[in-house]
Amino acid sequence: MKASPFSIQPSSTITFKNQGVIQPSKKTTEVTQKLGKYSKGLSEQSLFYYLFDLLDTNRNINYVLQKIVDTLPSAAQFKQKIYARIVFNNFEYRTTNFIETPITLNVAFKTHRDKKGQLEIFYLTKSVSKHQEVLFVEQQLLIDAISKMIISWLNRYETEKELETMLVQLEMKIEDRTEQLKKANQKLIDMNKDINDSINYANRIQRAILPTNDIMNLVFKEAFVFYKPKDIISGDFYWLHKTANKIFYACADCTGHGVPGALMSMVGHQLLDHIIIDKKIFEPNRILEEMDLAIIKLFKKSQLSDHLRDGMAISLCVIDMKDNIISYAGAYNNAYMFVKDELVVLEADRQSIGGNELQGGKKFNKIIKEYASGDLIYMFTDGLPDQFGGPKGKKFMRKNLLNLITKNKNERMELQGEIVEYSFEKWKRNNFQVDDVTLIGVKL
């Protein structure tokens, strides 16, 4: 049996030169006994220190339990030669040359996962009685302490393994969920691309039916159009048609924006074509009344008609180039005319085309004005006046827009359009665009 590094070997006798053997006194005997107990305590402490170091590692459970049974005979300073065995979870760990004897100390233990184990120490001789030998009882306390250390470590070990398993399962679930999210995200990307491709194609169709700046400048002396959809496609539209003696043009704002507004704008565009070109109705108030009836009739066919409020606000001008007369009618949207330097408001009726008034039969007023060469007309939807921005995040307002137009009315029409666009972007800054924007200016 290996000696403990902390053991102190007491002497049983004291010998002096030339004086023979002197028997130890009673006090010397007590000191010797105390030194023996102190030596044994140090030995047990060294065992505990070793076990603490051993149990504080992340080694394999088989390695740790085998090391414990190997350590007990060499480090425990038991009175007699011993053998040790740990049985745990149907596995057995023994000291070298293990012998099972009748004299034994043992303690049973169980982990929090109900795995059972037992620590056993076997004595080589038969002379020890559990009731006669105090040291034997102390050794029972020692292995009880060792078993508690083992069970504490095993519980921690099992908990760590459970956590590792849970982490692995969690990582697998996360990887699986991540893969699902990647697939779902790719599906959304593909769907979004398809939708955007369709909307972009709809935008090309919508812009194809709008009169270009070149056409506007051929029809009028000068003209500009500031047209900025909130989304890719717009609920605003403008329309132009010219005959030998008349010019018909309109600026309209349909209910909503994006896809719903764009669909309604296509309906409005086709209705103007049909009413003016096919049916030859040339009075602006009559044109609006026909549009109103047609839209109401269209939505009356739907079972959802009670919930639909689709319609439009519109300004419509008919310019008689032979008699130099402007005829105007409007639904909610005014037009603004500069006769020389005087601002004249062409007031619209406060009712929409279509909407939720499904009985039809609306009547619109017609305004007639004479004009001279160089007079100006401006029509716009409510997108620009309603835009939030500026230093205080407020609406641009109709009044400020009219002031802007008035201030720059003597500039070339092309430059006026650039000034309006610059002013709008400067006002909007980082705010989102609230609605579709259209503004048309023409010089007669």
Write down the pLDDT at residue 342: 92
Instruction: Tell me the sheet residues that pair with 224.
Output: 441
Write down the pLDDT at residue 259: 76
Q: Which of 11-15, 344-348, 390-394 has the lowest mean pLDDT?
A: 11-15
Q: Is residue 374 part of a domain?
A: yes
Write down the pLDDT at residue 38: 47
- Contact, 316 vs 284, CB < 8 A? yes
Per-residue pLDDT tens digits for 272-325 = 999 999 999 999 999 999 999 988 888 775 544 444 456 789 999 999 999 999
Q: Is residue 205 part of a domain?
A: no
Distance CA 54, CA 67 (A): 8
Are residue 304 and residue 437 in the same domain, yes or no?
Answer: yes
Are residue 133 and residue 218 in the same domain, yes or no?
Answer: no
- In which residue are the tokens 């180039």 written? 321
- Contact, 227 vs 262, CB < 8 A? no
Query: Using 50, 70 and 90 to split pLDDT, how confident is the model at 79?
Result: low
Q: Is residue 176 part of a domain?
A: no
* pLDDT beyond 90 at 219: yes
Are residue 356 and residue 287 in the same domain, yes or no?
Answer: yes
Per-residue pLDDT tens digits for 373-395 = 999 999 999 999 999 999 999 99
Q: Is residue 244 part of a domain?
A: yes
Are residue 99 and residue 216 in the same domain, yes or no?
Answer: no
Are residue 304 and residue 360 in the same domain, yes or no?
Answer: yes
* pLDDT beyond 90 at 425: yes
Per-residue pLDDT tens digits for 87-141 = 998 889 998 888 888 888 888 988 888 888 988 888 876 544 544 444 556 677 7
Are residue 291 and residue 425 in the same domain, yes or no?
Answer: yes
Cα separations in angstroms, 61 against 71, 93, 106, 124, 303: 15, 11, 20, 28, 75
| CATH number for the domain that contains residue 105 | 3.30.450
Average pLDDT over residues 31-38: 50
Last residue in a domain, options 163, 178, 202: 163
Q: Which string of DSSP letters, residue by residue, matches 216-230?
A: HHHHSSEEEEEEE-S
- In which residue are the tokens 């909503």 written? 256
| CATH number for the domain that contains residue 280 | 3.60.40.10
Last residue in a domain, options 135, 163, 191: 163
What percent of the chain stands above pLDDT 70?
A: 80
* pLDDT beyond 60 at 186: yes
Q: Is residue 429 part of a domain?
A: yes
Are residue 98 and residue 38 in the same domain, yes or no?
Answer: yes
What is the domain range of residue 32?
14-163
Q: Is residue 186 part of a domain?
A: no
Query: Using 50, 70 and 90 to split pLDDT, how confident is the model at 80?
Result: low
Last residue in a domain, options 163, 183, 199: 163
Ranges of beta strands (E only) in 149-266 are 222-228, 236-242, 246-254
Per-residue pLDDT tens digits for 15-27 = 334 444 445 555 5
Are residue 288 and residue 155 in the same domain, yes or no?
Answer: no
Write down the pLDDT at residue 126: 55
Q: Is residue 192 part of a domain?
A: no
Q: Is residue 185 part of a domain?
A: no
Are residue 400 and residue 305 in the same domain, yes or no?
Answer: yes
- Contact, 29 vs 35, CB < 8 A? no
Write down the pLDDT at residue 18: 43
Are residue 104 and residue 249 in the same domain, yes or no?
Answer: no
Higher pLDDT, 164 or 39: 164
Are residue 262 and residue 349 in the same domain, yes or no?
Answer: yes
Query: How many domains are contained in the chain?
Result: 2
Is the whole model's pTM more than 0.75, yes or no? no
* pLDDT beyond 60 at 41: no
Handedness of CA 257, 211, 227, 199 (dihedral sign): positive
Are residue 386 and residue 290 in the same domain, yes or no?
Answer: yes
